């Protein structure tokens, strides 16, 4: 397991704050129970932040299918009107990532980036039905050589305050290549052609680079 480069500064800054806090606690609090409870809580916070930015080592489930870009739970499978890029009916599959899931995102299949745009917005809890429309997000359209394309939307959540996306129009990417990361609780929406063969169901836990969510 590796630590994502976007988390290095945050981890070091958190460590510095915890050292200062530890010095203040040991100096001004003499009650052992309170002191060691606070110190233990500080240690858990540092462990969680480090754990959050982990990058798992996985073998990519390569194939002519659409992989999940995110770890998490499927919270929606429904036809919707996608008005940002396609302006047509698409099948939306949404994967909610809790604060304990891996938050790095990967491309679901080989293709070329046709569109990438960041949208500022609000911070509803990421499994809220309106979060895909109203929250801060980044939309990326990935097209296969055969012309089929999918819009992948990284959506910020109630704890997320930064979406990082490396996609640039014209880039050629491979299945399982890193797309970006969302900090602290969020979701990823896939807007697929309506004729895809869905391979997951609501409530199912999925793993990025491993779980097939649909087939063209």
Closest CA to 153 of 172, 131, 171, 168: 131
Give, for 20, the enclosing helix (H) or strand (E).
Answer: helix 8-28
Distance CA 36, CA 22 (A): 10
Asked if 186 is an active-site residue, the reply is yes
pLDDT in tens, the chain (216 residues): 788 887 788 888 888 888 888 888 888 888 888 878 888 888 888 888 888 788 888 999 999 999 999 999 999 999 999 999 999 999 999 999 888 888 899 999 999 999 999 988 665 555 555 555 667 889 999 999 999 999 999 998 665 457 889 999 999 999 999 999 987 668 899 999 999 999 999 999 999 999 999 999
Q: Rounded CA gap, 205 and 201, in Å?
A: 9
Q: What is the DSSP string of 154-192?
A: EEE-SS---EEE---TT-EE-TT-EEEEE-SSEEEEEEE
CB 87 within 8 A of CB 186: no
Q: Using the CB atoms, write b or e for 65-95: b if 16+ within 10 Å.
A: bbbbbbbbbbbbbeeeebeebeeeebbbbbb
Active-site entry in 68, 94, 132, 186: 186
Q: Which single residue is written with the structure tokens 């996608």?
A: 82
Supply the pLDDT for residue 21.
85
């Amino acid at each position: 397991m590796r630590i994502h480069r976007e988390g290095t500064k945050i981890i070091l800054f958190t460590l510095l704050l915890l050292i200062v806090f530890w010095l203040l606690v040991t100096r001004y609090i003499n009650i052992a129970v309170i002191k060691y409870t606070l110190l233990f809580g500080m240690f858990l916070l540092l462990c969680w932040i480090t754990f959050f930015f982990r990058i798992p080592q996985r073998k990519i489930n390569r194939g002519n299918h659409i992989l999940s870009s995110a770890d998490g739970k499927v919270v929606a499978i429904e036809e919707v009107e996608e008005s940002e890029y396609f302006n047509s009916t698409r099948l939306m599959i949404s994967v909610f990532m809790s604060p304990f899931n891996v938050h790095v995102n990967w491309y679901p299949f080989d293709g070329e980036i046709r569109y990438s745009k960041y949208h500022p917005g609000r911070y509803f809890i990421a499994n809220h039905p309106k979060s895909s429309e109203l929250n801060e997000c980044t939309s990326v359209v990935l097209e296969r050589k055969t012309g089929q394309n999918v819009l992948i939307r990284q959506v910020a959540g109630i704890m997320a305050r930064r979406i990082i996306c490396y996609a640039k129009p014209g880039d050629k990417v491979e299945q399982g290549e890193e797309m970006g990361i969302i900090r602290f609780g969020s979701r990823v929406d896939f807007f697929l052609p309506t004729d895809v063969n869905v391979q997951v169901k609501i409530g199912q836990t999925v793993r990025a680079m491993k779980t097939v969510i649909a087939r063209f």
